[in-house]
Amino acid sequence: MTTEEYGFDSALSRWGTGCLKYDKLKDRFGSEKLHPMWVADMDFASPACVREAIAARLNHPILGYSVLPDDFIPSIMDWVMTHHQWKLQPEWITYIPGIVKGIGMVINRFLQPGDKVIIQPPVYHPFRLVPEGNGMDVVYNPLRETSRGHYEMDFDNLEKVCDERCRLLILSNPHNPAGLTWSKEILQRLAQICEKHHLLVISDEIHCDMCLWGHKHVPYATVSPEAASHSITFGAPSKVFNIPGIVTSYAIVPNDVLRKKFYGWLEANEFNDPNMLAPLATIACYRKGEPWRRQMLKAIEDNILTLEDYCAKYVPRIRPIRPEASFLVWLDCRDLDIPSGSLGDAFIQAGLALNDGRMFGMEGKGFMRMNVGTTPALLMEGLEKMRAVFGN
């Protein structure tokens, strides 16, 4: 099937569907008359195979207690093996009801209030909010900007900030919002330091199936035996197949001791007990969704090329940093010379709802995050609004 046949070219109205991206515009940005390019889901119909699997189940009118379908775990194992060459054992895997919730669960199970959690901003804001909300101290190891909008991990600083109260490091792999994939060498170095300081690592790999232009995702737990033994990996079909409303994710824990402690607690609280639709959606994505995924990535690459071209021609003071993965583009807006704190408002004035870079940490000052998971026409509408206010 082509982009057109999957509907990546045709806009569907999302208004009035209880959709966060549109229906919460007024609450979040002060006006519903804005063009939404913010929260990280796509304006594309979810794959037909997923909707069919759910519809087939709903054809039976009794929605009683259900059992986990036999293929749930094997479908994850096969997907991860095929796409990331990581051979999982079935017992390493469990369902979790969302990755942000998973972070909260790990913190509640393994940490005590006052323990420290290390994050590497600019980074997905729940990495800060969840630990803080659970009484932890958040320690920052900011990414180092090597050239405009390009980053590397700061290992010297990581060594400096690690003390005996640091218990957990949360890794965004690939990295949101900078769009980075991390190499094996970088992850190995990170794993050495984390091992030395007895840190537990959460590797959030939700964006891993959206690598662009041949970039490769490296699962953290595969880079060394130490990384495997001190990490909890979170994965999900939700981001890549545009089904976050279904709430389906999973954890992978190779270390027996860690796993028993975490999964025993999940089980005791039934936190790993999915609703009946989540596993069906996961199986459909992983067994039948690959052609959709490939076309979707092509549509995203096309959109990023359009954005780059458009900015270079008409909005040269905004520089899109090309992501190596996912549909979120980090826009370097520092040449606009808009006073600190006013950039988000300037975009709202331009009629656009994007994420202000500052929400990902103060390192995001002067940046905006643009979601290009949309149709070419809607993308162009957003770009024209940007040009009208920030152009040449």
Ligand X SMILES: Cc1ncc(COP(=O)(O)O)c(C=O)c1O
**Footprint on this chain of ligand X (rule: CB under 6 A):** 40, 98-100, 124, 172, 176, 204, 206, 236, 238, 244, 249
Nearer to ligand X, 172 or 222 (CB): 172
Q: How far is the CB of 197 from ligand X (least distance, A)?
A: 23
- Alpha helices by DSSP H, listed for the chain, are 3-6, 20-23, 25-29, 48-58, 72-84, 99-110, 126-133, 155-161, 184-196, 225-229, 256-268, 277-288, 290-314, 343-349, 376-390
Q: How far is the CB of 302 from ligand X (least distance, A)?
A: 22
Rounded to a whole number of angstroms, the CA Rg of the chain reads 21
The tokens for 247 are 């709430």
The tokens for 23 are 């229906």
Nearer to ligand X, 143 or 206 (CB): 206
Residues paired with 249 in a beta bridge: 96
Terminal CA-CA length for the chain: 39
Nearer to ligand X, 25 or 236 (CB): 236
Q: How far is the CB of 23 from ligand X (least distance, A)?
A: 17
**Among the listed residues 208, 146, 210, 152, the one whose alpha carbon sits nearest the alpha carbon of residue 371:** 210
Q: How far is the CB of 372 from ligand X (least distance, A)?
A: 14
User: Which residue do the tokens 């500052």 mark?
Assistant: 358
Q: How far is the CB of 15 from ligand X (least distance, A)?
A: 21
Identity of residue 135: G
Q: How far is the CB of 219 from ligand X (least distance, A)?
A: 15
Neighbouring C-beta atoms of residue 380, cutoff 10 Å: 15
CB of 332 closer than 8 Å to CB of 321: yes
Length of the chain: 392
Identity of residue 289: G
Q: How far is the CB of 72 from ligand X (least distance, A)?
A: 16
Nearer to ligand X, 258 or 278 (CB): 278
Nearer to ligand X, 244 or 357 (CB): 244
- Residue 106's contacts (CB-CB under 8 Å, 6 or more residues apart) are 168, 200, 202, 232, 262
Nearer to ligand X, 203 or 390 (CB): 203
- Residue 254's contacts (CB-CB under 8 Å, 6 or more residues apart) are 89, 92, 221, 228, 229, 231
Q: How far is the CB of 164 from ligand X (least distance, A)?
A: 28
Nearer to ligand X, 293 or 390 (CB): 293
Nearer to ligand X, 120 or 176 (CB): 176
